[in-house]
Amino acid sequence: MAGTYTLTIIKPDAFAAGKAGKIIAHLEQQGFRVRAARVMHLSQDQAGEFYAVHRERPFYGSLVKFMTSGPCMPMVLEKDNAVAALRTAIGATDPAQADAGTVRKLYAESKERNAIHASDSDENAEREARFFFAESDVIAAR
Ligand code: ATP
Ligand code: MG
């Protein structure tokens, strides 16, 4: 799957605001294809484990609270060079710093409530995809 797939999450702020469809349309327009998707309300344990790498950061508690505040939408996306392409498409963590036309510039509220997650490496994309999906849930690459 390296290079071809990445894992994204439409976060609870964007999902609750009814922006999921617009975000998916935006990404499809840019050539991403949805290969697995679900709607789920993360538990404290799930959000804590997903963001375990940030456990020591000052925003960790607030981040876990935000990510458990309502349903979100994890998806596996396919595109050539998917990880780098999606990082470019979503823009900087803080929407105030994000380039024009990026998902976060268009749809994020703040640095924390920033609409969307994207894996930052092929290794993490694989790990994060397995966090939410069984291998049989992911539609095979072209
Ligand atoms: P993501 O991992 O969600 O794709 P990212 O890689 O741009 O985003 P990270 O540094 O991995 O950002 O932080 C993970 C998430 O934690 C961010 O997307 C954001 O929701 C939140 N976050 C990051 N930095 C801060 C901060 N300084 N204050 C509040 N929340 C933050
Ligand atoms: Mg990150």
Sequence letter at residue 122: D
Distance 98 CA to ligand 2 centre (A): 15
Question: Is any atom of ligand 1 closer than 6 Å to the C-beta of 104?
Answer: no
Whether the predicted pLDDT of 95 surpasses 80: yes
Residue 140: which region, alpha, beta or left (left: phi > 0; alpha: psi -120 to 50)? Answer: beta
Average of per-residue pLDDT across 30-45: 98
Q: Look at residue 3 in the predicted model and tell me its pLDDT.
A: 85
Q: Which ligand approaches the C-alpha of residue 118 most closely? A: 1
Mutate to test the pocket of ligand 1, among 23, 49, 63 (most ligand atoms within 8 A of CB): 63
User: Is 117 known to be catalytic?
Assistant: yes
Give the residue, out of 107, 114, 128, 132, with the most ligand 1 atoms within 8 A of its beta carbon, to mutate for a pocket test: 114
Buried b (16+ CB within 10 A) or exposed e, 99-130: eeebbbbbbbeeebbbbbbbbeebebbbebbe
Is residue 67 within 8 Å of residue 13, measured between CB atoms? no
List residues, by chain if needed, whose CB lies under 5 Å from ion ligand 2: 120
CA-to-CA distance for 129 and 119, rounded, in angstroms? 9
What is the four-CA torsion angle of 54, 91, 106, 18, rounded to 10 degrees?
Answer: -40
Q: Quick one: what percent of the chain has pLDDT higher than 90?
A: 96
Please give the model's pTM, rounded to 2 decimal places: 0.96
The strand pair at 116-118 and 5-10 is best described as: antiparallel
- How is the chain split into domains, by residue range? 5-40+72-140
Given pLDDT bands bounded at 50, 70 and 90, which one contains residue 142?
Answer: low
5-40+72-140 is classed CATH 1.10.1070.20 = no
